């Protein structure tokens, strides 16, 4: 198993850097290149502050202030007819910028256009819930809180949705180890048997490919079984596998291969 390395700064230090590597960027077009988007953006800029806007893969991306998120989404829904909120979540940029990026993906059915509304918030900053505008935001915002720890104000039921209610930590943050922190690794043992059971049950065995034929606690070699915990030697007794033992079952005869008959003729 690979040795565990703390992943606190995993975003700052990639394990391999190519001096001449240029990360490919999806090309951006100005919003003026599409007249529907240009009209939408002009209407938006009259009421709200727009930090940045461009078109990427035929979708308009708009950066706004996080304080405006409810009003902007209401404006997009009611004035600009973007009447579906198809997705909503956060992106962890804590290592680079100390911020989360929140995005709302919206669809207008009669304009046949998609818009992505983005904003940056600090780690401990809360945003306003849009659940009153879109019912789909209910579970999405709960998932965002569950996975990233982004708090949402005025949500009707701000609890975890995927992880148990008493879970600690936010698993989709980049700093969260894939195999869990100490709380996660002992979660079921602590909850069911208590912390004092840790020594008896032992830590999780994370190498799922591990096989040890001399370990009779966890493995049994078919045909060469020994009692649990007994030492395993190279010349184990042979214990042929068969379903039924001799005279093992009351009133049921054991099938003997030599006394069986193969019926060749179906019309027999």
Residue 63 C-beta: closest distance to other proteins, Å: 33
Nearer to other proteins, 26 or 192 (CB): 192
Instruction: Tell me: does residue 211 bind other proteins (CB under 8 A).
Output: no
Residue 138 C-beta: closest distance to other proteins, Å: 20
Angle between helices 69-78 and 35-47 (to 10 degrees): 130
Residue 193 C-beta: closest distance to other proteins, Å: 6
Non-local (6+) Cβ contacts of 140 within 8 A are: 85, 87, 88, 89
Instruction: Tell me: does residue 208 bind other proteins (CB under 8 A).
Output: yes
- CB–CB of 73/47 below 8 Å? no
- CB–CB of 86/105 below 8 Å? yes
Nearer to other proteins, 80 or 189 (CB): 189
Binding mask 226-265 for other proteins (x = CB under 8 A): -----------------xxx--xxxx--------------
Instruction: Tell me: does residue 109 bind other proteins (CB under 8 A).
Output: no
Instruction: Tell me: does residue 4 bind other proteins (CB under 8 A).
Output: no
Residues between 131 and 190 with contacts to other proteins, criterion CB under 8 A: 163-164, 171, 176-181, 184-185, 187-189
Total residues binding other proteins (CB under 8 A): 31
- CB–CB of 148/125 below 8 Å? no
Instruction: Tell me: does residue 98 bind other proteins (CB under 8 A).
Output: no
Provide the strand spans (E) within the chain.
Answer: 28-29, 50-56, 59-64, 84-93, 99-108, 113-122, 127-128, 152-153
Provide the strand spans (E) within 30-172.
Answer: 50-56, 59-64, 84-93, 99-108, 113-122, 127-128, 152-153
Nearer to other proteins, 154 or 183 (CB): 183
Point out which residues pair with 139 in neighbouring strands: none
Instruction: Tell me: does residue 66 bind other proteins (CB under 8 A).
Output: no
Nearer to other proteins, 124 or 246 (CB): 246
- Strand order through the sheet with 50-56: 28-29, 50-56, 59-64, 113-122, 99-108, 84-93
Give the residues lining the site for other proteins (CB under 8 A).
163-164, 171, 176-181, 184-185, 187-189, 191-193, 197, 200-201, 204-206, 208, 243-245, 248-251
């Amino acid at each position: 198993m690979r040795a565990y390395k703390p992943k606190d700064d995993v975003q700052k230090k990639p394990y391999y850097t190519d001096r001449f590597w240029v990360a490919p960027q999806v090309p951006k077009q100005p919003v003026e290149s599409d007249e529907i988007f240009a009209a939408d953006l002009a209407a938006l800029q009259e009421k709200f502050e727009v930090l940045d806007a461009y078109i990427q893969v035929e979708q308009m991306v708009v950066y706004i202030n996080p304080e405006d998120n409810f009003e902007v989404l209401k404006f997009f829904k009611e004035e600009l007819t973007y009447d579906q909120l198809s997705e909503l979540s956060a992106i962890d940029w804590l290592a680079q910028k100390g911020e989360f990026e929140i995005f709302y993906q919206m669809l207008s059915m009669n304009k046949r256009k998609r818009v992505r509304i983005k904003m940056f918030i600090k780690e401990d900053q809360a945003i306003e819930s849009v659940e009153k505008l879109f019912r789909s935001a209910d579970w999405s915002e709960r998932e965002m809180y569950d996975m990233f720890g982004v708090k949402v104000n005025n949500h009707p039921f701000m609890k975890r949705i995927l992880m148990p209610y008493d879970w600690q930590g936010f698993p989709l943050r980049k700093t969260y180890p894939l195999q869990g922190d100490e709380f996660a690794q002992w979660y079921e043992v602590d909850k069911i048997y208590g912390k004092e059971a840790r020594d008896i049950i032992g830590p999780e065995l994370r190498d799922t490919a591990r096989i040890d034929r001399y370990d009779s606690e966890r493995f049994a070699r078919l045909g060469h079984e020994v009692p649990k915990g007994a030492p395993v030697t190279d010349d184990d007794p042979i214990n042929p596998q068969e379903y039924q033992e001799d005279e093992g079952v009351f009133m049921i005869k054991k099938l003997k291969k030599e006394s069986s008959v193969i019926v060749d003729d179906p019309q027999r």
